[in-house]
Amino acid sequence: MAKLWGGRFTQSTDSFTDHFHSSISFDSRMYQEDITGSMAHAAMLGKQGIIPADDAALIIKTLKEILVDIEAGKVTFDEKAEDIHMNVETILISRIGDVGKRLHTGRSRNDQVALDIRMYTKKEIIAIKELVKNLMVTLNDFAANHTETILPGYTHLQRAQPVTLAHHLLAYVEMFKRDYDRLCDTYKRTDVMPLGSGALATTTYPLDRYAVAAELGFAAITMNSMDGVSDRDFCIELASTLSILMMHLSRFCEEIILWSSHEFHFIELSDAYSTGSSIMPQKKNPDMAELIRGKTGRVYGHLMALLTTMKGLPLAYNKDMQEDKEGLFDAIDTVKMCVPVFTSMIATMTVKKDAMLNAAKGGFTNATDAADWLVKQGVPFRDAHAIIGKLVLYCIEHNTNLDDLSLAEYKAISPVFDESVYAAINVNECAQARKVIGGPAKEVTTAAIAANKEYFKTI
């Protein structure tokens, strides 16, 4: 096959070279964006009188047919045509000859590829936003059923203070709200139309870049052609946004894995989201959570690869930039698999309320509340801390807990204690009495869940 750029060459490329520098195996997924972009470019060329209007019409009609044929699986791409851009152009020329050869007027593959990635990325950001929204709605609904489910909150993975499961889940809703925001923000900087940048220095034809942007649904156009062809910030930003999202999923997965262990037994995952062992008949493994935790690493890797690919590149386009796509696509694909699996895994898990409550009752998670009770009787906080510390030590030595000490035992350490301490250190009460905004109390989480529902209506 003759190369579209073959004019100044006397020898054909080495066939392994063709294989080496071809990107069609991974950029063919942008066929729709490439064709839609070309249609908008051709329409503008015709309208501006840069090419005959009839030619523009024939090009657009034929591009539409090519799109239909690709979607019907009737087109095979050729590695020798390098990438999706030249594959489509080659097919166009094979169908309508000289007229097809006019399409690339005033355009370069450099601004073409920049356009295609932006269009593709915009589409995928919208899809990922929907998945994240769905995850948030699921978590928020799940939380609504657990405003009174008590479990220990941890610091240093040591039992710290009792919280409610709603409170714990709503912490993740907050993280995913920020992820959603970051996706919206990344979208803004992706939604800028680079076509018209040409190879790097625009063109002498009177292009109407705003018309192309409007036709393709872009909010703005790039304002410097050298930047227009060589900016991949939006890819890096998306990889970063997705890395943070995966980090949140991974933290949650870590908890799911811990919680489904025999040691915690706070939850049981549905069989649909667990697997067995080929040798140990008793096993039910949280593989999906582990895989999501594991796949987080590859998304981080793509972010580092993209940053590293770009760090030494002089202006403007360099072929290194062809390396942007596989990592970006894999990061997108990975997130698009992980988020829905995670959502269903959470939606179908069973909560072991008794195990959670028992865990909250052990480990002195109510010690702070006991100290606070003393403070409310007028004891300075530092003294209260010391008194409860002594009581905890006493409990450890006698293998008991604060709830089960007799009033005489309390009074032996401080005469301030009376019967009302028992109600104050009940773990249920400890969680439900924390009514500060952002806290675990039922009235607080119920309000947060309602506010989240209102927010979901706006996104």
Q: Of the two residues 110 and 197, which places its CB atom closer to ligand ARG in the complex?
A: 110
Nearer to ligand ARG, 33 or 55 (CB): 33
Q: Is the dihedral of CA 39, 79, 71, 99 positive or negative?
A: positive
Residues 6 or more apart whose Cβ sits within 8 Å of residue 70: 31, 35
Q: Which stretch binds ligand ARG (CB under 6 A): 167-175, 268-276, 280-288, 315-323?
A: 315-323
Catalytic one of 12, 25, 94, 277: 277
Q: Of residues 111-130, which lie at the interface with ligand ARG (CB under 6 A)?
A: 113
Please give the residues from 4 up to 33 whose contact with ligand ARG meets the rule CB under 6 A. 23, 27
Position 147 contacts ligand ARG (CB under 6 A)? no
Euclidean distance between the first and the last CA atom of the chain, given in angstroms as a whole number:
50
Q: Are 60 and 103 in contact (CB under 8 A)?
A: no
222 contacts ligand ARG (rule: CB under 6 A) = no
Q: Which is nearer to ligand ARG, 105 or 285 (CB)?
A: 105
C-beta closer to ligand ARG: residue 152 or 228: 228
Q: CA angle, 167 as apex, 448 and 239 as ends, to 5°?
A: 85
Residue 122 CB partners (closer than 8 Å, separation 6+): 187, 190, 191
Among 38, 62, 87, 110, interactor with ligand ARG by CB under 6 A = 110
Q: Indicate the residue among 121 and 432 with the shorter CB distance to ligand ARG.
A: 121
Q: How far apart are CA 231 and CA 226, in angstroms?
A: 8
Q: Which stretch binds ligand ARG (CB under 6 A): 182-190, 316-324, 395-403, 419-427?
A: 316-324
Please select the residue that binds ligand ARG; options are 83, 191, 231, 369, rule is CB under 6 A. Answer: 83
- Exposure pattern of 425-455 as b/e (b: 16+ CB <10 Å)? bbbbbbbbbbeeeebbbbebbeebbeebeee
Minimum distance from CB of 229 to ligand ARG (Å)?
A: 9
Residue of 156, 262, 278, 406 marked catalytic: 156
- On whether the CB atoms of residues 187 and 234 are closer than 8 A, the answer is no
Cα-flanking dihedrals φ and ψ of residue 152, to 5°? -75, 140
Among 319, 378, 408, 454, binds ligand ARG (CB under 6 A): 319
Smallest separation, CB 322 to ligand ARG (Å): 4
Of the candidates 207, 240, 204, the one whose C-alpha atom is nearest the C-alpha of residue 222 is: 207
Among 321, 339, 349, 444, binds ligand ARG (CB under 6 A): 321
Q: Which stretch binds ligand ARG (CB under 6 A): 37-45, 106-114, 134-142, 291-299?
A: 106-114
Residues 260-299 that bind ligand ARG (CB under 6 A): none
Residue 311 binding ligand ARG, by CB under 6 A: no
Q: For this structure, is 250 an active site residue?
A: no
Angle at 62 between CA 58 and CA 65, to 5 degrees: 150
* Residue from 121, 197, 202, 322 in contact with ligand ARG (CB under 6 A): 322
| Alpha carbons 136 and 141: distance in angstroms, whole number | 9
Rg (CA), the chain: 31
The rounded Cα 25 to chain-centroid distance in angstroms is 25
Cβ 432 to ligand ARG shortest distance, Å: 58
Bridge partners of residue 163, in order along the sequence = 151
Nearest CB to ligand ARG, comparing residues 156 and 319: 319
Nearer to ligand ARG, 5 or 381 (CB): 5
Q: Based on the shown chain and the rule CB under 6 A, indicate whether residue 34 belongs to the binding site for ligand ARG.
A: no
Q: Which of 252, 258, 291 is nearest to 273 (CA)?
A: 291
Task: Output the smallest distance, CB 19 to ligand ARG, in A.
Answer: 14
Name the burial class of residue 312, with classes exposed (0-12), middle (13-18) and buried (19+) by CB atoms within 10 angstroms of its CB: exposed
As a whole number of angstroms, the distance between CA 209 and CA 194 comes to: 9
Among 109, 118, 146, 167, binds ligand ARG (CB under 6 A): 109
Q: How many CB atoms lie within 10 A of CB 121?
A: 23
Beta carbons of 38 and 103 less than 8 angstroms apart: yes
For this structure, is 167 an active site residue?
Answer: no
Nearer to ligand ARG, 92 or 338 (CB): 92
CA distance 101 to 80: 18
Does 302 bind ligand ARG (CB under 6 A)? Our answer is: no
Q: Are 48 and 206 in contact, with CB atoms under 8 Å apart? A: yes
Q: Which residues are tagged catalytic?
A: 156, 277
Binding site for ligand ARG (CB under 6 A): 23, 27, 83, 109-110, 113, 319, 321-322
